[in-house]
Structure 1
Amino acid sequence: MKVRIGVGLGPHEDFVEAIDHAEEIGIDSIWFSEVVFAEHVDPFIGMAYALSRTQNMKVGTGVAVLPGRNPILVAKQLASLAALAPKRVLPVFGLQPARKPERQAFPVPHGKRGELFDETMQVIRRLLTEDAVTFNGTFHTLENASIRPRPRRMDIWLAGTARPGLERTGRLADGWLGSFLTPAQSRLAKRTIEAAAAAAGREIEADHYGVSIAVATDGIPPALLDAARARQPEVDPREVIPQGWDQARDLIEEYIDAGLTKFVVRQVDPAARVRPFLDDFAAKLMPLERDIPDPV
């Protein structure tokens, strides 16, 4: 298994510099979040732009919303990116925006978001693997739909921390990216996903489990504390939001002990210059990347 650590980009004015510098210093991957009502770059546009400026670095969505999107267009976008940059595209999808006002950008019939998610995933999978797709579902109807060029393989990861989302990951996904979970909670989440996958006759690769981590290098903003408490009321936010690089390093090691190997580190302060953050990341966290034995 391979421990790999990427960086989630926020609404930085030095966006281009961040991509170029991340490639220059050998960062594994750059991730783009779905934040509509803020100065964040659209994740699919961000991935395409980053791929156009780099040769080695991978790109991912951390996380993009799936329900409310047209599955044909999503499949076409993923296939196009994979054709232009093979093995460098890492899509991660979630159920809905974290910010409630942004949910209007992804219209979904009331009470049907989970059902729509499942059907949309099914359609995307078929479009990425079959020559032509005819499908009659509750939400989507396709007749002889075909996507070219089709990637040889496109792993799709899911986010989510609630039990239904974890079970959905086991049934439908190739990997999982959690957030705001303690290492102990992450271990239990991984077991839930594994059990759901086994019940569906599937298996997720052992090193396809990860977590997104917000690193606070200058204190934790009150808004982030509130967001963490809303997600995990029973957990002290300081257990999952490291303050400084030493805490971040220790927390990642705990996650590795819990069975996770993929990490997305996010900068908490959007006003801070990103280049020093990337340099500190490279010095403090990139040395943690390594190969570790597969679980017995």
Structure 2
Amino acid sequence: MQMDSYYFHDDAHFFAGCGVPGSPDLPFADLIASLSEPLPEVARQSAFREYRGVGLELPGTARGGTGNGINIHRRMMDVLGRMGPATEEEQRPQHQQQQAAGAVESSRGFRHMMRERQRREKLSQSYADLHAMVSSRSKDKNSIVQSAAVYIHELKVAKEQLQRRNDELKAKILGHDAQQQCVKVQFEVDEPSSSIDSMIGALTRLKSMNVKTRGIHSILSGQRLTTEMNVETTIAACEVEKAVEEALQEVERNQLPDSEAPFPGSRSAWPQTSHVQNVF
């Protein structure tokens, strides 16, 4: 701030008829010099500070300047106008792809989570059922598995004991002696005179030989009689077979008149077969 030079006038005409009053000596030179010095600028208080980031300056501008005297707002609008539409078009497909990929990953992760949850629920339910069966004191999984293993071993031992007991009872009921031979006698007779008489004759002959019968299975189909017997005997199997054949021939001879009977001592003319097989 600079002031014009002060011009001193003569004060004599203001004091006509009187003497000019005395004036104290003042340091006018120092006062003028102090007035000619500029006042210091007062710092402006503001809540904002200038952000000086790296790489954020607009092209053509220098730090601390507006750049070629162009309005900063206009330049900013020009830059945004040039880069806005292209950026939106480029970002839109990328955003859609990201959304699609995120949806796929989310659904895949959700399915995996649900499968894992179902697997854990089934596993927990299986452990609970096993715990109820083995009556384990502890609900720890290792304790439940160990108790189940011991329980299964006990069941196997009990099964073997019951199987042996069952075999003993069967042998006792059937009266089977381990020293006696068990054989299966099979015979067939075509057009028998009487199927009942044939069966009775075969059984009577076996009884006379001290052969014990364990089971009989007979089928009469058309004109053929098929019989299967399980017997116990100490006699050779061939002897049993021969005895059965003779018994069947004798039954057939007894059923026919004397005129039609074959010559004594000759083989029978009736078609019949027999077979003996060892069972054990």
TM-score norm. by structure 1 comes to: 0.17
Query: TM-score, normalising length from structure 2?
Result: 0.17
Please tell me whether Structure 1 or Structure 2 has the larger radius of gyration of its CA atoms.
2
Higher strand fraction (1 or 2): 1
Q: Which has the higher helix share?
A: 2
| Higher RCO (Cα < 8 Å, 6 or more apart) | 1
